[in-house]
A and B are shown apart, each in its own frame.
Chain A
Amino acid sequence: DTGVSQNPRHKITKRGQNVTFRCDPISEHNRLYWYRQTLGQGPEFLTYFQNEAQLEKSRLLSDRFSAERPKGSFSTLEIQRTEQGDSAMYLCASSRTGYHEQYFGPGTRLTVT
């Protein structure tokens, strides 16, 4: 399978704990995006990378959130001191410079209890 993969698929954590998600994009794609979807809403942009550089961050991305893409391949999204409002589906997408299409992974569903 050469699509975008995300791990874990589900994560249940207690409020105040830290969590980290991983995204492996399609191998030749140099752009990588993170989105978050909450109930009843469409996906909302969080941040994106071109190669290893983080080029844009949404104001939705509070100080508790940090994303990295150290070698321009996979990316991690860490949430520190989770809150119940962080419960959502976290989606990763990748694309190639010069092309419109973004290809999505299956998402990581986070539940904060």
Chain B
Amino acid sequence: ILNVEQSPQSLHVQEGDSTNFTCSFPPSNFYALHWYRWETAKSPEALFVMTLNGDEKKKGRISATLNTKEGYSYLYIKGSQPEDSATYLCAYPYGGSQGNLIFGKGTKLSVKP
């Protein structure tokens, strides 16, 4: 049974702080690792799909790294803004690169102005 773990469960930071979250997953039979941002009352939004060990992807102030050998990924937010407040989910496809996603419980980020 695949288990995707995320930490911390929640995080409260001040505007301008940089922060990071962790996602751990089973390292065997790795296909891909997805990061989503889910704001209240909106659709989960895909941030990154990471496929290669050592991958580092960036989108504005958000970046992510991947270590498939040890089974973890980090998501970094530089200079957090109130609009970054959301739940950040990571997910692992089961049974193949396009399989159904196994999600972690998410990290809920609150950024205070």
Question: Interface size for chain B: under 10, 10 to 19, 20 to 34, or 35 or more residues?
Answer: 20 to 34
Asked if A45 contacts B104 (CB within 8 A), the reply is no
- The secondary-structure label for the interface of chain A is loop
The yes or no answer to A72 lying at the interface (CB within 8 A) is no
Partner of B103, one of A3, A43, A56, A97: A43
Q: How far is the CA of A104 from the CA of B36 in the complex (A)?
A: 10
Asked if A106 contacts B46 (CB within 8 A), the reply is no
Interface size counted on chain A using CB atoms at 8 A: 27
Give the A-B contact count at a CB cut-off of 8 A. 59
* A11-49 contact mask (Cβ, 8 Å, vs B): 1 or 0: 000000000000000000001010100001111110010
The yes or no answer to A91 lying at the interface (CB within 8 A) is yes
Q: How far is the CA of A58 from the CA of B93 in the complex (A)?
A: 14
Residues from chain A with a CB closer than 8 A to the CB of B6 are 42
